[in-house]
Structure 1
Amino acid sequence: MAQPLQPPTPIDGLPTPERWHAMAVIIMGIAVAVLDGTIVNLALPGIAQELNASASEAIWVVNAYQIAVLVVMLPLASLGDLVGYRRVYLVGMAVFTLSSLAATFANSLGTLIAARALQGLGAAGIMSVNAALVRLTYPSAQLGRGMAINSMVVATSSVAGPSVAAAILSVASWPWLFALNVPLGILVLVLGYRSLPFNRVAAAAGHRLSVVDVVLNVLMFSLIFLGADRLGVRDPTGQGGQSGAWAILLAGLAVGFVYVRRQRTQAVPLFPIDLLRIPVFALSMGTSVAAFAAQMLAYIALPFLLLGAYGRSHIEAGLLITAWPLAIVVMAPIAGRLIGKYPDGLLGGIGLAMMAAGLALLAALPSNPANADIVWRMALCGLGFGLFQSPNNHTIVTSPPAHRSGAASGMLGTARLTGQTLGAVMLAAIFSVWSAHGDGRGPTLALVLAACCAGLAGVCSLLRLKTPAPGHATHGAGG
């Protein structure tokens, strides 16, 4: 495919104020894409009632979005390396905006699910090249700050969905959850066309996008997601549902085996096993998956613990949990300034140790804790997560060569979604054995498992201290 014309911009990042204009577009796009992954959860009962659907059917309003994002993230990232990150981003935002309009006027569950799937495809276009655009926007000496801002927006958006939804639903009906995306999407498209940077490094020789590889990628991720999702749900009819879930999961793993073997013969693989051969990149991916699994375990388990075992109201529980994302907001700029002064692996290891300690302390709370005891533990988790995320993302984005920035960006998003899915499935499995309600045993065990996942992530991060970074990582954002 033809490469976009080289723009008349500096090699190493954009100058100010162009940098701030581009970053504003990047932030708005990633915020709305991540937010829409969870913003619908609170409205599901109302959607099911209005569209005459069951709860199990309505959950596909969420699943359709998540699966669509996951299965095309890597193909779109690879496409960004070929035709330009800004082009993939802008087309993704256009699809996201149009599908949001379709979701607004959906009058049946099937129509809404289809619109949400298209919305997920558009969001994947935004997420897949998000970090690659940050790398192009900031000079290498300041890339840590750019990644810190980006990481803070992703982290806060991923947990802000219920709060934003509650605010909108308090004054409007559920279609407005999607309608508000339309003017915002148009604004991002107009500003992005003017300010987003072009690719500055040509795609690698032999790089192409194969239809067979794309199909195998879609099949692998969708089957594994569906199988894992069904395994986490107790089957009231017996073992049949579990057997079916295992069959789907094993089919996904079989497709994955064929897919990865095929990728090993590719000069520039769609599933970037060439990047996973870079030890520091592979360890950073493991760190990210385990950390996001820990975060998802905690985020879903904590409301059950606060509402059920501790008797807090919904408002009280929401305010207590808010201490976590607020702490991320506080720590993110600090972490950004520390990048480059201290090794990313060390910063991530310290942050994840803090997070693991906070999760363990939350699990060890007494039966009637004071709000202050809950808040400082939440804050410790958030501070630790904020210290880990930006340095880890910095390593993922900068350790590959510049012409593979899209693939690295896609893997960053894939690791986050994989970790979150894994955390949700592990929690569902725990709740299928130990009740989510009552004495809080199920949520407490989930927090213990979350602390273990955070500890594992910390070990992966610290192992990077013994792993030299590849020489091309020092080339910075400009390549």
Structure 2
Amino acid sequence: MKPTGIGEAARAAGGRTEPAPPVRWVLAGLSLSMLLSSLGTSIANVGLPTLAQAFGAPFQEVQWIVLAYLLAITTVIVSVGRLGDIVGRRRLLLAGVLLFTAASVLCGSAPALWLLIAARAAQGLGAAVMMALTMAFVGETVPKARTGSAMGLLGTMSAIGTALGPSLGGVLLSGFGWRALFLVNVPLGLLTLLLAHRHLPADRRPEPTAGRARFDHLGTLLLAVTLAAYALAMTTGRGRFGALNLALLAAAALGTGLFVRAEARAASPLIRPAVFRDPALSASLAMSTLVSTVMMATLVVGPFYLSRTLGLGEALVGLVLSAGPLVAALTGVPAGRIVDRFGASRMTVLGLAAMGAGSFLLSVTPQTLGVPGYLAPLVVVTAGYAVFQTANNTAVMADVPADRRGVTSGMLNLSRNLGLITGASVMGAVFSLASAAADVATARPDAVAGGMRITFAVAGVLIVVALAMAVGSRTLARRAAARPAVGGVKSKA
């Protein structure tokens, strides 16, 4: 029987029963881990103008402070999840938190831009470990009946980190200088390390009779190169596609083919090819990518619409934009409880329906309604996102075998990251084209309003596609459950 809780994990690890720490302390450590990784994503953006002045560098160079972190997470998140499955999640998570904390110190003391960028890449590697393994730990530390609530809590902490980044960064920047943007992570990292070390269950020892899984070095390298090429294609040129972008996309396509071929031949593949023949998992990953693409549209379009069309100042724009992450933070835990009560499949559909309704409302909102006319549909979109994210993560992670939780969690986080990267580029390009202006930053207010409506109409269509996937996946699951038993065992899809 597989361990399903902390006490059973302790028995499997040491052959004896040890007192299980309260689940709340485990969740406290995991929540701080999620908060740190999301805070690291959002806190540096607000400091880019100051960093450009401090190092005397153009924006094209300074933006790598953000891109290095994002690229590191994207390229290795699946691989570190799989590594945790093999070497032990607890020891790898502790190493990831330690790396993140040490890299934060290096970021805050960097004397040169290149060293700061390198430290941010190391920080992103630590964040990838934390993101991939935090959700994986839920399956072995939280009772199955409370999985949705735990996922909702982690979603809340992620939203709080995203929302807190710009505001906290602004305060630190004005009061203590740019180095404080990174040094603030150090005490939080040490607290996370302490909680994780004291309360996470010990890694299980492999059974003597079981063959040890090997790490797929070739697959890891191919996947990292492929994802790096795709991420660079989507971010280089700030939404304008040129020859370099096309070459990177071609490299990503070639890398994908080589990766699939290598995994089919590997004795212990990083990602088992059979995974992609599972319609439920494939649909969940695709939906996560589409939904994240749409959520990025709110961050791409919102600042221009609020400032150019509605005429808000910088402070008010920041305040309105923080409403989205705030709603996600307030919705996360209740959404988890609702998922536990009514089921992940049903709540996935409901969350997507809310997102679609909010997106289409934004596509027809007249600018005469002002801030309330923008804010009300945005709240619906964000609340729907919180419900979807919790339900989808719960559905994917609920029945994953213990030896695949890390890599599956990594794939979930990767799908979200790819959606954010794609959304920043594709939805930004849609907004620019729909506004029919050479530069959106100087476009007429009515042109920006028209671009906003068309962009969210496209976003609504993407959500409809995701909704069709959810309904189709649910229908397939029902048919599989209704199949007659063959030889005393019910067939599975």
Q: Normalising to structure 2: TM-score of the pair?
A: 0.87
Please state if 1:88 is matched with 2:92.
yes
- 1:266 is aligned to 266
Provide the residue aligned with 1:124 in structure 2: 128
**In structure 2, C-alpha distance between the alignment counterparts of 1:175 and 1:94, rounded to whole Å:** 19
Tell me which of 67, 73, 78 is aligned to 1:74.
78
Instruction: Flag as ranges the 4+ runs of structure 1 deviating above 6 A.
Output: none
Residue 370 (structure 1) shift? 3.5
Render the CA deviation track for 1:210-243: whole Å, top value 9, x for unaligned. Answer: 32222112111111111222365337xxxxxx11
TM-superposed CA distance for 1:464, in Å, is 2.4
Match of 2:471 in 1: 462
Q: How does 1:280-429 map to 2 (within 5 A)?
A: 280-429=280-429
What residue is the counterpart of 1:109 in the other structure? 113
**Alignment equivalent of 2:227, drawn from 221, 228, 232:** 221
Report the secondary structure of 1:262's partner residue.
helix
In structure 2, give the amino acid aligned to 1:454: I
Distance 1:247 1:15 in 2: 56
Aligned-residue offset at 1:132: 0.5
Is the Cα–Cα contact under 8 Å of residues 297 and 426 in structure 1 kept in the other structure? no
Of all paired residues, the percent bearing the same amino acid is 29
Q: Please state if 1:209 is matched with 2:209.
A: no
Residue 155 of structure 1 deviates from its aligned partner by 3.0
CA distance in 2, matches of 1:280, 1:15: 37
Shift of 1:23: 0.7
How many residues end up aligned between the 2 structures?
A: 459
Partner SS for 2:358 = helix
Does structure 1 residue 167 correspond to structure 2 residue 171? Answer: yes
- Cα distance in 2 for partners of 1:424, 1:330 equals 25
Task: Name the residue aligned to 2:487.
Answer: none
Aligned amino acid, residue 450 of structure 1: A
**Deviations along 1:283-324, whole A, 9 cap, x unmatched?**
111111111110011122111111111111222222223332
- Amino acid across the alignment from 2:177: S
Q: How far apart, CA to CA, are the structure 1 residues paired with 2:399 and 2:55? A: 48
Q: In the alignment, what sits opposite 2:488?
A: none
Amino acid at match of 2:411: M
Contact persistence 1:234–1:432 (CA under 8 A): no
Distance 1:231 1:255 in 2: 22
1:405-436 Cα deviation digits (max 9, x unpaired): 11111111101101101101113323553443
CA RMSD of aligned residues (A): 2.5
Conserved? CA contact 2:354–2:384, under 8 Å: yes
Shift in alpha-carbon separation, 1:330–1:37, aligned structure 2, 3 A: closer
CA distance in 1, matches of 2:206, 2:393: 23
Q: CA deviation at 1:200?
A: 4.6
Question: Residue 104 of structure 2 aligns with which residue?
Answer: 100
Distance 1:102 1:331 in 2: 35
* Counterpart Cα distance in 1 of 2:335 and 2:272: 28
Pairwise CA distance, 1:201 = 8.3
- Cα 1:21–1:111 change in 2 (3 A) is same
1:33 matched residue in structure 2: 37
Q: Does 1:181 align with 2:190?
A: no
Question: Please, which moves more after superposition, 306-315 or 15-24?
Answer: 15-24
Question: Which residue of structure 1 aligns with residue 4 of structure 2?
Answer: none
Distance in 1, matches of 2:211 and 2:285, equals: 26
Q: Residues 457 and 82 of structure 1: is their aligned pair in 2 closer, same or farther, counting only changes over 3 Å?
A: same
Does the 8 Å CA contact 1:305/1:444 hold for their aligned counterparts?
A: no
Residue in structure 2 matched with residue 477 of structure 1 by the alignment: none
Q: Which amino acid aligns with 1:285?
A: L
| 1:17 Cα deviation after fit | 5.4
> Which of 188, 194, 198 matches 1:194?
198
Q: What is the match of residue 474 of structure 1?
A: none
Q: Which amino acid aligns with 1:222?
A: A
Structure 1 residue 251: deviation in Å?
A: 1.1
Which protein has the larger Cα radius of gyration, Structure 1 or Structure 2?
2
After superposition, where does 1:426-465 map in structure 2 within 5 Å? 426-433=426-433, 434=435, 435=437, 436-437=440-441, 438-439=444-445, 440=448, 441-465=450-474
**Counterpart for residue 47 of structure 2:** 43
- Select between 394-403 and 70-79 the one with higher mean Cα deviation: 394-403
After superposition, give the CA deviation of every residue in 1:373-426 in whole Å (9 maximum; x if it has no partner). Answer: 333222211221122111100012124322211111111110110110110111
Deviation at 1:111, TM superposition (A): 0.8
